Amino acid sequence: MSPIEPIAERRTRRARRTERRRADDQIALDLAGGQTVAWFHCFSGIAGDMALGSLLDAGADVGEVLTLLRRLPLPGWDLRTEGVLRGGIACTRAIVSADDDVVVRTHSHIVGLVSEARLPERVVARSLAVFGALAEVEGQLHRRPTAQVHFHEVGGHDAIIDIVGTAIALEVLGVDRVAASPVATGTGMVRSAHGLLPNPAPAVVQLLRGVPTYGRETPVELTTPTGAALLAAMSSSFGPLPAMTVRHSGFGAGSRELDELPNCTQVVVGTALAAERTGDGQPVLVLEANVDDATGEQLAHAVSALLEAGAHDAWVTPAMMKKGRPGHTVHALADPSAAEALRQVLRTTTGTFGVRAFTGERWPSARTMDEVEVEGSSVRVKVGADRAKPEFDDVARASSETGLAPHEVASRAAEAWRRRGEERRSAPDAPDFSEDPEPA
């Protein structure tokens, strides 16, 4: 294993955690209204070129996308677009031409390419999350550590441009959150670098675990591993078109015309409506497991692992078990798409023989992040509609650095934020940044 591979894995894990936290915060803001959402309608599946083409068709400026793509240290490629019809629907087809059809790259190599490209932070996080999802699944299928995974088709210039280009196009359109419909897949067999494989391919099936999916009697690879990875890594929810004021829409064409359905992916971009105006909350699952033989250390580890795996929240409550034994219930609040992964985490971390789930809705309050200084130490402050709460990890660190008691640090941080707000409001023409979302 080369020295860069553990670094690549850490970067990918960090990027995926960042993207999950950002998606969760954006959902909260989204439910308060005003955030930009992109919803992919995958009635004919999705592939990397179809996702990119749909965003370009929806108005992402090709010149801006190309300018950022050319920052990749990756020579020998070109991206062009053409207008085509698919089932009578006008679409944009994104066509990548490249010199390296047979190049096989490692996951760490691709992480290095993306990390060195001086791209916007959110583009890097989304791109690495997609390649991380692909590497994780390929590692499972071929029984290799993630860092040792070699990409074949998805390591070529065209797949890299499709993935990073999609992340860039989302950024150009100012998209804060990605959602998707249930995903269509084909049937039969497909040819890959490993030979003939069932359709949908094993990597697609793994990537779509926990995602609403259905099959069509179409002997074509409707959803590719690249398309499935884009959804698995970027989408925070799956279902019908979210409540929004539509601003743009577009169709990205697949490479061939099909007789039975339009071979394209639709994207709808708009401004989310507040939950209070639509009456609808965010769909969630509550997963639970009862345990009566877990230690405190195991329970703490289970909660940490659930949060790391993407749960919105996780907690433990004491319970009286059968035969009068004291025990605990471990809970996880999650997006329905993460149910399968979190179920496995619950089983492995607690040793439980069963997990149950309940459906529900949640209405997170909109929040933003600000930052203040207390005696020279920075403290982040989570700001809601009617309160501001300093982040305790920062409070504890500042307490250690300054020698002040934690409650004193928290009090001074809250007061500093209030004072800053008063100063901004009193400035005659100064904009009020207290309502701005946390920078990407």
DSSP bridge partners of 270: 37, 246
- For residue 305, CA distances in Å to 171, 193, 313 come to 30, 35, 11
Dump the DSSP string for 173-242: TT--EEEE--EEE--SEEEETTEEEESS-HHHHHHTTTS-EEE-S-SS--S-HHHHHHHHHHEEEESSPP
- DSSP states of 60-71: --HHHHHHHHTT
Q: Which domains does the chain have, with CATH numbers?
A: 4-278 (no CATH), 282-362 (3.30.70.1380), 368-435 (3.10.20)
Q: Kindly give the confidence (pLDDT) of every residue in the chain, 440 residues in length, as a single tens digit, with 9 standing for 90 and above.
A: 444 445 555 555 555 555 555 555 555 554 545 789 999 999 999 999 999 999 999 999 999 999 999 999 988 899 999 999 999 999 999 999 887 555 567 788 888 999 999 999 999 999 999 998 888 888 777 667 655 555 644 447 888 999 999 999 999 999 999 999 999 999 998 877 667 889 999 999 999 988 899 999 999 999 999 999 999 999 988 888 988 999 999 999 999 999 889 999 999 999 988 654 555 667 889 999 999 999 999 999 999 999 988 899 999 999 998 888 899 999 999 888 788 889 999 999 999 999 999 888 887 776 778 889 999 999 999 887 677 899 999 999 999 999 999 999 999 999 998 888 787 767 655 444 444 444 33
The DSSP code for 364 is P
What global pTM score does this model have?
A: 0.64
User: Using CA atoms, how far apart are residues 112 and 122, in angstroms rounded to an integer?
Assistant: 16
Q: Cis omega before residue 200 (within 30°)?
A: yes
